[in-house]
Amino acid sequence: MDAHSRGRDDIDPADQWVLNPETGNYELRLNPSGPQSGDRSRPDTDSASGRTRRRDSLPEQSSRRRSQQQSPPQSPRRDVPGQRSRRASGGGQDGGPGSGPQTAAGRRKRKQQKSRRKKALMWTGGVTAIVLVAGSTGAYLLYEHFNNNINKIDVVGGTSGSAKDRAVNILLIGTDKRTGKGNEGYGDKGSVGHADTNILFHVSKDRTNATALSIPRDLITDIPDCQIKQPDGSTKTIPGTSQVRFNTSLGQDDRDPGCTMKTVKAITGLTVDHFMMADFNAIKTLSTAVGGVDVCVAHPVDDAESHLKLPAGKSKVEGEQALAFVRTRHSFGNHGDLDRIQVQQQFLASLIRKMTSGDTLTSPTKLYSLANAATKALTVDSGIGSIDHLKSLALDLKSVNPKNVTFTTLPVVDNPAETKVHLTVVVNHAQADPLFSMMRGDVSLTEVKKEKKAAASKQEALLKGSQANASDVRVKVLNGGAQPGSAQTTLTWLQNTEGVLKSENGGNYKPDLAKTTLTYAPNQADQARKLADIMGLPASALKPGTKDSVGLTPMTLVLGADFKGAGTPITAPAKAPADIQKVEADKTVCSK
């Protein structure tokens, strides 16, 4: 027996409630033979006296009073549409399947019920349409709001389209330009916006790990020629400069972030796909949007210059205090830029933990504040310069576990050209080159889960097995991002030194690749293993095909940006140098 129908199988339980078109409320339907909930005699006004009188005639009122004395009192009544599935017998009373034919009065009553029901459905459908339109309009306006927040720059270089099925590199740039309310006292007063803070965020192809490489602003390096887009759509070349600070790769001589991206590639060998640039406001607004960022200091801090004041131990910072935390240079370490970089890494690691926490992801208010703050604070390249593209990128990268995100700093040494005061640094290639190789090879700086190791073992199996003779190896060599002339010098080395006589120069390959690849057919596996052994190629460089080669078709070797020269192995180390600086995103570190 159904609780709504009270044992009557001819009533649809859903019909017990109906929308009253006059009030806009759903009301409970009772037996039509008795009074309905909410029935109320309607008052009328006497036009002569102005007094309210009842519509019912006096005899009818007396009859109703007598009826009320004989039956339990009922609640006042409104006109509510009748039940849809009710069968009516003669006289309009409820009848079962065996009831007799309906009377004219019953048919009229049913017709009235249908008419009322039709009006209710029309009214409900109209409201539903309005709600849907309003919701769609709200979503559209929100979408447009976020879209209009985003600033974008059309740079020469980088990539567009999907980043799926490949590693992705994003350059995060913090400028020292005094933009935004309340930032007049920060940075250099006349700065055009140099690359003050720089982090290359490399995400592995399989999305199991990421490495965030900080590049010191005071690094002395060569800035290559770069192209910038003019307002009229034309391209202008900015000449490169040798042995200057890295931070001048942006802003100086009208350089845009595309020039910084190109400089990073020259240093690391990694092609930068996108950039995200922020000013001082980003730290203030993002830290506030998530409700503050947890930080830890090993000793009390009272820095008069940055106005940072914190007790020893853990604290929560946001807004101006968060900005002071990442900008202080005199509170930790040797009061230099390298120590400040480590503090910034610790802050960003904590910010990542907060942004990906359940407390943030389950709060619509925090998510809106975070999205609003992020889109206002960021300037990005046109390849990701819309909410759709940013959302697509975020969804693609969301599977990276914070415990496998590692912050590190480009290994450097004091600039030997400075004999008295060491204000700048240069790359320490003994430590940096293995680190670059690991990033290009998608080798994590932290331990990753067993599935990752299993996949690596499967890849390594490609190198196991028989090898062909060098004289039987057929290969076409192309330059796909290595130094100019690399294809020819490699070809000469293979033929004259290694006996790979059936090799040829295939010219240039586009687009440039970050990593060297060797593509071969199944029936060329023994040749591929031999060439990999000769050149020191990692297992990840081997790309087996699905169809056997026909005739004299050669394998294809594309020399990527990781290629350093003929005879120089490019196999990535399994572990980073022991003394390399690291901050793991899932761990809290107290700044000293």
End-to-end Cα distance, the chain? 72
Write the pLDDT tens digit of every residue in 153-167.
999 977 765 567 788
- Please, which residues have CB within 8 angstroms of residue 449's CB and are 6 or more apart in sequence? 208
Residue whose entry in the numeric block shows the structure tokens 């391209």: 235
- Which tens digit of pLDDT belongs to each residue from 398-414? 788 888 889 999 999 99
Per-residue model confidence (pLDDT) at position 89? 43
pLDDT in tens, 511-554: 888 889 999 999 999 999 999 999 988 888 899 999 999 989 99
> Nearest 5°: phi and psi at 8?
-100, 115
343 and 328 in contact (C-beta within 8 Å)? yes
User: Under 8 Å CB-to-CB from 124, ≥6 apart: which residues?
Assistant: 19
The rounded distance, in Å, linking the Cα atoms of 459 and 559 is 20
Query: Of 174-178, 187-191, 367-371, 458-462, which one has max mean pLDDT?
Result: 367-371
Domains and CATH numbers, the chain: 168-440 (3.40.630.190), 461-559 (3.30.70.2390)
* Tens digit of each residue's pLDDT (9 = 90 or more) over 441-489: 888 887 655 455 555 555 667 788 899 999 999 999 999 989 999 999 9
The residue count for the chain? 592
* Cα-to-chain-centroid distance, residue 346: 21
Nearest to 157 by CA among 229, 230, 243: 229
The residue among 393, 215, 187, 362 whose CA lies nearest residue 283 is 187
pLDDT, position 516? 93
Tens-place pLDDT, residues 487-513? 999 999 999 999 999 999 999 999 888
- List, in order, residues 6 or more apart from 364 with CB less than 8 Å away: none
Phi, psi angles (nearest 5°) of residue 495:
-75, -45
Q: What average pLDDT is seen over the chain?
A: 77
The 10s digit of each residue's pLDDT in 564-582 is 888 888 877 777 777 888 8
User: Residue 51 and residue 129: Cα distance in Å, rounded?
Assistant: 42
pTM: 0.65
Helix/strand/coil for 377: helix
Tokens at 551, concatenated:
């005739």
Which comes out higher in pLDDT, residue 475 or 134? 475
Residue 164's contacts (CB-CB under 8 Å, 6 or more residues apart) are 396
- What percentage of the chain reaches a pLDDT higher than 70? 70
The residue among 494, 550, 558, 541 whose CA lies nearest residue 521 is 550
Taking residues 323-328, what's their average pLDDT?
Answer: 89
| 3-class DSSP state of 99 | coil
Q: Are strands 151-153 and 378-381 parallel, antiparallel or unpaired?
A: parallel
Q: Three-class SS of residue 6?
A: coil
Q: Is 183 exposed, middle or buried (0-12, 13-18, 19+ CB in 10 A)?
A: middle
